[in-house]
C-alpha cells in the first residue's frame, strides 16, 4: 500500500567530508556550465585542472577560482592534493586517462559515454579493480528531480508491477555545441539517449531485448542517427518506448516520461530538454488506483544542470568514505553500455538484440 504522504527526499546525499581534492581533466563546455557550478553549490573542493588546450584550462581556472593549472595529466596526477580525478574529455580519449589515473591510485569520475567500445569499458573496470580505486560514471540524470522522485515513488509501492514506461523527447538540438559529435558515426544513442537508457534501467531494471530504428531528418549533414525509436521488452511483459528526435522544427517541442503499473501512474516532464542548457525544473504527477482521478503533483525546485551533477560526485565520495560501490559505478555502467551497443547492433541488423549478446 503506498503511503498517503510519499517521501520525496530527492536531493543527493552528501558525503561527510566535502573537502576531498578534485582534479579536473578537460576544461570544456560541460565542466564550465555543469560540473563546476554544481560543485560550488555542494561545497566540493576543486584543487587543479588540466586541458590539452592550455588557454581553456587557464580561463576555466580564472572563472571558477581553481588554484592550480597543470600542464599535463601526469602533473595533475602527481599532485598529492588530488584524490579524485574528474574526467570530461572526448570518449575516445578517456580510456588512456583512466589507465594513468588507476596507476596513480586515484579514484575517478568518468564522463558518459564511459567508453566508445565495450571492450574498453570492461578494461577500465578491471584496471580500477586491480588498482583498488573506485570509478563512477557521470550518468547524472538518475539524480534529475523527476527521475529520482519517480524511483522513490516506485520504492514506496505507488506503481505496483510496472507495465509500461516511456521517454519521449522531440526538441531542436544545437549541434554546434558539439561539432565533434555531429562529425561522428554514432550520435543520438551514444551521446543523448544513453541518459534515458541509464535512467530507465534505474527505474525499471534490465530489458531482455531491444529494437531500435535510427534515422535523420532531411538536410542533416551528419552521417549518424539524430532520431531514434526504440522498444524494450522485458520477460515480465513490461514494454518500454524511447522516442527521441533532435531536429523538431515546430514550436511545440516536448520532453516527457511516463510509467504505468498495476497500481498507479507516474508522469512528468524533463525540464532541461525544453531549453538546453538553461532548462527549467521538471514536473511530476502521480496517481494511485486506490484513489482514481486524484492526481498528486510535486513542486520540484532543482534543475538537471547543474543540480543533478552533484549526485555522481557525491555518490563517489560516499563510496570512498564507506568503501562501497558508487551508485553509477563503472561496473554498473557496463549494463548501460551493453544496451547502447545492442541498440546499434539492432539498427544495423534490423532485429531485436539481447543486451547480453554484447560481450568483450
Ligand X SMILES: NC(=O)c1ccc[n+]([C@@H]2O[C@H](COP(=O)([O-])OP(=O)(O)OC[C@H]3O[C@@H](n4cnc5c(N)ncnc54)[C@H](O)[C@@H]3O)[C@@H](O)[C@H]2O)c1
The contact set with ligand X (CB under 6 A) reads: 25-31, 50-53, 56, 73, 88-91, 93, 111-112, 138, 140, 178, 191
Can you list the alpha helix ranges (DSSP code H) found in the chain? Answer: 29-30, 36-42, 54-64, 73-78, 91-103, 118-131, 145-155, 179-182, 194-204, 310-322, 330-349
- For residues 219 and 240, what is the distance between their CA atoms, to the nearest angstrom? 30
Choice between 30 and 200, CB closer to ligand X: 30
Closer residue to ligand X, CB minimum distance, 8 or 56:
56
- What is the closest distance, in whole angstroms, from the C-beta atom of residue 300 to ligand X in the complex? 18
Measure the CA–CA gap between 104 and 337, rounded to whole angstroms.
26
Closest to ligand X by CB, 26 vs 264, is 26
Going by C-alpha positions, the residue among 169, 148, 158, 145 that lies closest to residue 265 is 158
For ligand X, give the closer residue by CB, 23 or 26: 26
Strand partners, 109: 86, 136
- Work out how close the CB of 28 gets to ligand X at its nearest, in angstroms, rounded to a whole number: 2
Nearer to ligand X, 118 or 286 (CB): 118
The nearer residue to ligand X, 30 or 149, going by C-beta atoms, is 30
- DSSP string across 48-112: EEE-SSHHHHHHHHHHHT-SEE-SSHHHHHH-TT--EEEE-S-HHHHHHHHHHHHHTT-EEEEPS
Q: How far is the CB of 297 from ligand X (least distance, A)?
A: 26
Give burial (CB, 10 Å; 0-12/13-18/19+) of 93: middle
Tell me how far, at minimum, the Cβ of 342 lies from ligand X, in Å.
20
| Residue of 190, 11, 159, 211 whose CA lies nearest to 90 | 190
Min CB(72)–ligand X separation in Å: 8
Give 98 or 127: the residue with its C-beta nearer to ligand X: 98
- Sequence-separated (6 or more) residues with CB below 8 Å from residue 107: 83, 84, 85, 133, 134, 135, 316, 320
We find the least distance from the C-beta atom of residue 98 to ligand X, in angstroms, to be 11
Instruction: Point out the residue whose Cβ comes nearest to ligand X.
Output: 28
Nearer to ligand X by Cβ, of 90 and 164: the residue is 90
Min dist CB 83 to ligand X, Å, is 19
Q: Name the grid cell of 354.
A: 539481447
Distance CA 39, CA 308 (A): 10
Q: How far apart are CA 75 and CA 70, in angstroms?
A: 6
Could you tell me the smallest distance in angstroms from the CB atom of residue 142 to ligand X? 11
Amino acid at each position: 500500500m503506498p503511503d498517503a504522504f510519499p517521501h520525496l527526499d530527492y536531493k543527493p546525499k552528501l558525503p561527510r567530508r566535502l573537502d576531498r581534492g578534485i582534479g579536473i581533466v578537460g576544461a570544456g563546455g560541460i565542466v564550465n556550465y555543469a560540473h563546476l557550478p554544481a560543485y560550488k553549490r555542494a561545497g566540493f573542493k576543486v584543487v587543479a585542472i588540466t586541458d590539452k588546450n592550455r588557454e581553456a584550462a587557464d580561463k576555466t581556472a580564472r572563472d571558477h577560482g581553481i588554484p592550480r593549472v597543470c600542464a599535463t595529466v601526469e602533473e595533475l596526477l602527481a599532485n598529492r592534493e588530488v584524490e579524485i580525478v574528474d574526467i570530461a574529455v572526448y570518449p575516445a580519449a578517456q580510456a588512456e586517462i583512466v589507465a594513468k589515473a588507476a596507476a596513480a591510485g586515484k579514484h575517478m569520475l568518468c564522463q558518459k559515454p564511459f567508453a566508445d567500445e565495450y571492450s574498453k569499458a570492461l578494461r577500465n573496470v578491471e584496471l580500477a579493480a586491480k588498482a583498488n580505486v573506485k570509478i563512477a560514471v557521470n550518468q547524472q540524470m538518475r539524480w534529475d528531480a523527476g527521475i529520482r522522485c519517480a524511483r522513490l515513488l516506485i520504492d514506496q509501492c505507488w506503481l505496483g508491477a510496472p507495465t509500461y514506461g516511456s521517454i519521449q523527447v522531440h526538441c531542436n538540438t544545437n549541434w554546434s555545441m558539439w561539432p565533434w559529435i555531429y562529425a561522428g558515426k554514432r550520435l543520438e544513442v551514444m551521446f543523448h539517449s544513453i541518459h534515458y537508457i541509464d535512467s530507465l534501467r534505474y527505474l525499471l531494471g534490465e530489458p531482455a531485448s531491444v529494437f531500435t530504428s535510427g534515422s535523420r531528418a532531411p538536410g542533416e549533414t551528419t552521417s549518424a542517427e539524430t532520431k531514434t525509436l526504440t522498444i524494450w521488452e522485458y520477460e515480465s511483459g513490461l514494454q518500454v518506448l524511447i522516442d527521441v528526435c533532435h531536429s523538431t522544427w515546430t514550436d511545440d517541442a516536448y520532453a516527457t516520461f511516463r510509467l504505468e503499473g498495476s497500481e498507479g501512474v507516474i508522469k512528468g516532464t524533463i525540464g532541461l530538454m525544453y531549453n538546453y542548457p538553461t532548462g527549467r525544473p521538471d514536473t511530476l504527477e502521480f496517481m494511485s488506483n486506490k484513489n482514481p482521478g486524484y492526481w498528486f503533483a510535486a513542486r520540484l525546485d532543482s534543475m538537471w544542470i547543474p543540480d543533478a551533477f552533484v549526485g555522481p560526485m557525491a555518490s563517489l565520495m560516499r563510496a570512498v568514505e564507506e568503501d562501497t560501490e558508487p551508485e553509477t559505478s563503472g561496473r554498473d555502467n557496463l549494463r548501460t553500455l551493453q544496451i547502447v551497443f545492442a541498440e546499434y547492433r539492432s539498427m544495423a541488423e534490423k532485429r531485436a538484440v539481447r543486451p547480453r549478446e554484447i560481450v568483450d
